[in-house]
C-alpha cells in the first residue's frame, strides 16, 4: 500500500511536468498549427540558463524569473526568424523545419554550456523528504507539482480572461478573420511562442532538480511528452493536462509493477509504455480524449 502511494505521488509529480511540456506544444499548435519539435531544446536551454544564473549568485527566485523570460524571448525569436517566413507552407515543411531548429539549438546549448551534467541548487535542502500519508516524498517533487499547478492555472487564466488570451483564441480559430478584426496576429503568435517557451523552461528547471541533473539530453523528455499531446487531443489544453498527469502516473506505475511482470522484455519498458498507450488511443479514438473530431469538408 505504501509503495502504491509512493508511486502515485511521484507519478503525479512527473505527470505535472509532462503536462507543462505538453501544454507548450498545444499552445503553439492551437495558435499556428505548427507542432514544435524544437520544444525539448527550449526545455534544456531554460534549465541551463537557470543553472548559470544560480552559479552567478543570483537569488533563486530571481534566477527562476530571469530564465523563464530569457527562454520565452528565445522561443519568440525562433518564431520570428524561422517560422514567420513560412506561413502557409504545407504541414510537412514546418515539421522538418522545427526538427532542424531543434538540432541547431541543441548544438548551441552544447557549445555554450558543454555536455557535462550539473546539479541545480535549491534554497531548501535538495535531498529533503517529507512524510505524506505514510509515504516518503522528496520536497523537490512536491514543489515541482505545486509550481506546475500554479503555472497551469496561470495559463488558463491568461487564456480565459486577459486581452492577450482572447486575441490568442481568436487567432487560433481563424487567422484571416482575426487580422480583419484588427488583431495583430503576428505579434500574438510571437507572444504564444514566448508563453510556450516559458512553460518549457519551467518544466525543464523542475525536471532537472535532484534526483536528476541538468544536461544536454534533457530535451529527450519532450519525446516522452508527445504521447500526452496525442492522447489528450492535439487542440485541447484541458485534455492535454489530464493526459499528461495520466501518462506520468501510468509510467511510474508501469515502472513499479509492469516491468518485473514482463521478465527480460520489461527492462526499461516504462519508457515506451506511453507510446503503447498512445498507439492504442490512435487506433480507437484518433482525436484523443478531448480533442475535436476532424471533419472533412469537400
Partner 1 sequence: MPTRALVTSHEQDLALYPDVWHRLAMVLGRATALAFPFLASARWVGVGNAALVAVVGALALMILTGFCGQVSLGHAAFLALGAYTAAVLGQKLGLPFWLLLPASGAVAATTGLAVGVFALRLKGLSLAIVTLGLVLLVQHVLLSLPEWTGGLSGTAVPMHLGFAGEGRAPSFRDTSVLGGVVLRFEQKLYFLFLLLALATAQVTHNVQRTHTGRAMMAVRDQDLAAAAMGVDPTRAKLLAFGLSSSLAGVAGAMFAFQQQYLTVEPPFDLGMSIQYVAMIVLGGIGTVFGAVAGALAFTFLTPLAEEVGSALPFLDRLSSAQQSTVLFAAVVLAFLVFEPMGLFGLWLRVKRYFVAWPFSY
Helix 39-55 × helix 60-78 angle, to 10°? 150
Binding mask 139-178 for partner 1 (x = CB under 8 A): ----------------------------------------
Kindly indicate which of the ranges 41-49, 71-79, 190-198, 261-269 contains the residues binding partner 1, using the contact rule CB under 8 A: 261-269
Provide the terminal-to-terminal Cα distance of the chain, rounded to the nearest Å.
55
- Which of 114, 123, 146, 184 binds partner 1 (CB under 8 A)? It is 114
* 112's grid cell: 555554450
138: part of which helix (H) or strand (E)? strand 135-138
Q: Cα(196)–Cα(95) distance, rounded to whole angstroms?
A: 17
For residue 196, the minimal CB distance to partner 1 (Å) is: 16
Instruction: Identify whether 172 is preceded by a cis peptide bond (ω within 30 of 0).
Output: no
Residue with cell 487531443: 233
Nearer to partner 1, 37 or 155 (CB): 37
Calculate ∠ Cα 15-191-100, nearest 5°: 70
Beta-strand ranges (E) seen in 34-189 are 129-132, 135-138
- Which of 176, 264, 293, 295 binds partner 1 (CB under 8 A)? It is 264
- Which of 4, 86, 157, 181 binds partner 1 (CB under 8 A)? It is 86
For residue 239, the minimal CB distance to partner 1 (Å) is: 14
Nearer to partner 1, 56 or 296 (CB): 296
Q: Judged by CB under 8 A, does residue 87 bind partner 1?
A: no
Q: Judged by CB under 8 A, does residue 77 bind partner 1?
A: no
Residue closest to 191 by CA, chosen among 170, 205, 220: 170
Sign, Cα dihedral of 292, 198, 103, 214:
negative
Q: Judged by CB under 8 A, does residue 222 bind partner 1?
A: no
**DSSP secondary structure letter of residue 215:** -
- Which of 179, 258, 282, 289 binds partner 1 (CB under 8 A)? It is 282
Q: Judged by CB under 8 A, does residue 257 bind partner 1?
A: no
- Which of 91, 130, 150, 177 binds partner 1 (CB under 8 A)? It is 91
For residue 206, the minimal CB distance to partner 1 (Å) is: 24
Residue closest to 85 by CA, chosen among 186, 191, 196, 193: 186
Residue with cell 541548487: 121
- What residues make contact with partner 1 under the rule CB under 8 A? 35, 82, 85-86, 89, 91-93, 95-97, 99-101, 103-104, 107, 110-111, 114, 223, 226-227, 229-230, 234, 264-269, 271-272, 275-276, 278-279, 282-283, 286, 294, 296, 298
Amino acid at each position: 500500500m505504501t509503495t502504491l502511494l509512493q508511486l502515485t505521488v511521484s507519478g503525479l509529480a512527473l505527470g505535472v511536468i509532462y503536462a507543462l511540456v505538453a501544454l507548450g506544444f498545444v499552445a503553439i499548435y492551437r495558435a499556428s498549427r505548427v507542432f514544435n519539435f524544437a520544444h525539448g531544446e527550449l526545455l534544456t536551454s531554460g534549465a541551463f540558463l537557470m543553472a548559470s544564473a544560480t552559479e552567478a549568485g543570483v537569488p533563486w527566485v530571481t534566477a527562476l524569473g530571469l530564465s523563464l523570460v530569457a527562454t520565452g524571448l528565445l522561443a519568440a525569436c525562433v518564431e520570428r526568424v524561422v517560422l514567420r517566413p513560412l506561413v502557409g507552407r504545407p504541414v510537412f515543411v514546418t515539421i522538418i523545419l522545427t526538427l532542424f531548429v531543434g538540432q541547431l539549438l541543441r548544438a548551441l546549448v552544447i557549445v555554450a554550456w558543454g555536455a557535462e551534467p550539473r546539479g541545480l541548487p535549491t534554497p531548501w535542502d535538495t535531498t529533503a523528504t517529507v512524510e505524506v500519508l505514510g509515504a516518503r516524498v522528496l520536497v523537490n517533487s512536491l514543489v515541482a507539482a505545486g509550481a506546475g499547478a500554479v503555472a497551469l492555472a496561470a495559463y488558463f487564466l491568461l487564456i480565459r480572461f486577459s486581452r492577450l488570451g482572447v486575441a490568442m483564441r481568436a487567432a487560433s480559430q481563424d487567422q484571416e478573420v482575426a487580422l480583419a478584426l484588427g488583431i495583430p496576429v503576428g505579434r500574438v503568435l510571437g507572444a504564444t511562442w514566448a508563453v510556450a517557451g516559458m512553460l518549457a523552461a519551467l518544466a525543464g528547471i523542475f525536471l532537472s532538480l535532484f534526483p536528476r541533473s541538468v544536461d544536454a539530453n534533457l530535451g529527450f523528455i519532450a519525446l516522452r511528452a508527445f504521447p500526452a499531446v496525442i492522447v489528450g487531443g492535439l487542440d485541447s489544453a484541458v485534455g492535454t493536462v489530464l493526459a499528461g498527469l495520466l501518462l506520468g502516473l501510468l509510467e511510474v506505475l508501469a515502472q513499479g509493477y509492469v516491468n518485473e511482470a514482463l521478465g527480460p522484455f520489461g527492462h526499461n519498458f516504462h519508457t515506451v509504455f506511453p507510446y503503447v498507450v498512445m498507439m492504442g488511443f490512435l487506433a480507437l479514438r484518433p482525436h484523443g480524449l478531448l480533442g475535436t473530431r476532424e471533419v472533412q469538408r469537400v
